Amino acid sequence: MTPNNEYPPDETALLVVDPYNDFFSEGGKLWPRAKEVAEGIGLLDHMRTTLALARCSGFRVFIVPHHRTTPSDYTTWDHLSPTQRRIVSEQTFAEGSWGAEWHPDFRPRDGELVIREHWASSGFANTDLDFMLKQHHIRKILLVGMRANTCVDTTARFGQELGYHVTLVRDAIGSFSWEEMTATFELNAPLYAHAVLTTGEFADAVTDTAERRGGGDLP
Q: How confident is the prediction along the chain (219 residues), in pLDDT tens digits per residue? A: 455 779 999 999 999 999 999 999 999 999 999 999 999 999 999 999 999 999 999 999 999 999 999 989 999 999 999 999 999 999 999 999 999 999 999 999 999 999 999 999 999 999 999 999 999 999 999 999 999 999 999 999 999 999 999 999 999 999 999 999 999 999 999 999 999 999 999 999 998 888 887 755 554
Tell me what pLDDT residue 96 has: 97
Tell me what pLDDT residue 208 has: 86
Tell me what pLDDT residue 142 has: 98
Domain boundaries, the chain: 12-67+103-212
Return the CATH number of the domain spanning residue range 12-67+103-212: 3.40.50.850
Rounded Cα distance between 23 and 29, Å, is 7
140: which strand partners?
12, 165
Tell me what pLDDT residue 214 has: 72
Rounded Cα distance between 158 and 123, Å, is 8
User: In degrees rounded to 5, what are phi and psi of residue 113?
Assistant: -100, 135
Rounded Cα distance between 92 and 68, Å, is 8
Rounded Cα distance between 70 and 88, Å, is 8
CA distance from start to end of the chain: 26
Rounded Cα distance between 217 and 52, Å, is 15
Rounded Cα distance between 194 and 176, Å, is 24
Q: pTM of the prediction?
A: 0.94
Tell me what pLDDT residue 219 has: 45
